[in-house]
Amino acid sequence: MKPYSVDLRERLLRAIDAGLGATEAARLFGVGASTISRWQQQRRETGDLRPRPRPGRTPRIGPGQADAMRAQVAAHPDVTLEQHCALWAEARGVAVSISTMSRVHARLGITVKKNGPRQ
């Protein structure tokens, strides 16, 4: 879910500052009362209404490395995910699991299908 815009936050808090009740503002702007309380506290403490950074681990293979991943797959189209992990670790010095490699491929729309021997 995307954070609420700074514009919405500012308009809502201006309305409350102008005398609109918090409950009425919550109903009118379509946000929760606890959200308004958090925004008021954030404005009091920091003077800023920008959304805080979202928690979570940074990806081992981030969006900025998409071209490198596509190049690796193009250079080695018939290797397994496990072998892609080894190639990535060798080239980038970052070890990743097979699950991580699979998620990166899915996110980038890369399909890896081995071309085995035909009978």
Claim to verify: residue 42 and residue 68 sit in the same structural domain: no
In a domain, 53, yes or no: no
Question: Per the domain annotation, does 1 fall within a domain?
Answer: no
pLDDT at 58: 86
Query: What total of structural domains would you count in the chain?
Result: 2
Q: How far apart are the first and last CA of the chain?
A: 49
The answer, as to whether pTM is greater than 0.75, is no
Range of the structural domain that residue 36 is part of: 6-46
82 in any annotated domain? yes
* pLDDT over threshold 90, residue 89: yes
Looking up tokens 């009091």 gives 44
Give 114's pLDDT tier (boundaries 50, 70, 90).
Answer: low
Q: Tell me: do 35 and 70 sit in the same domain.
A: no
Residue 116 lies in a domain: no
Residue 22 lies in a domain: yes
